Amino acid sequence: MIFDTHLHLIDKSAMRYPWLSGVPALNRDFSYDEYAIQARRAGIEGALHMEVDVDSADIETETSHVKALSQQKDSLLRGAIASCRPEEPGFAAYLERQRADPFVKGFRRVLHVMPDELSEGALFRENIKRLAGTGLTFDLVVLPHQITKAIALVDLAPGAQFVL
């Protein structure tokens, strides 16, 4: 079985993607229907949606949108890596809502384009610790010079599962 672990879908009519304006080649919709045609031709039998760094206000909308697509007949979508903001006070409540949904397999916070200090904040680190024992993953998106910062996060939460 071929499984796509990193599918990005973009629906500009449903969500905001602030970063897209700086990347003209990607500044368009990438629909599930368009993907499914190509994926089936390539022999892909399942896919995991990877969050696309939507506007903070659209994070839960993105997960709901992708989950709805997964419920269509013969959908290839099997789960989602949802966006998150561990630096925000509402993370604990957000985590509990997402834990209740088996469609959500983990989280990702894009860090490679953020100031390094973001992942060093006390609230960010405390919230990363909350992932321990949940069975949910946390994707570390870092540049080579940030590897030591990623290791520090992993060391903080030995019971959490990290994806590099």
Give the domain extent around 44: 1-83
DSSP 3-state of 4: strand
Q: What is the pLDDT of residues 52-105, one digit of tens each?
A: 999 999 999 999 999 999 999 999 999 999 999 999 999 999 999 999 999 999
Q: Under a CB-based contact definition with an 8 Å cutoff, are residues 124 and 107 in contact?
A: no
pTM of this structure:
0.93
- Whether residue 38 lies inside any domain: the answer is yes
- Whether residue 62 lies inside any domain: the answer is yes
Q: Under a CB-based contact definition with an 8 Å cutoff, are residues 107 and 139 in contact?
A: yes
- Whether residue 127 lies inside any domain: the answer is no
| pLDDT of res. 114 | 86
Q: Is 74 left (phi over 0), alpha (psi -120 to 50) or beta?
A: left
Q: How many domains does the chain have?
A: 1
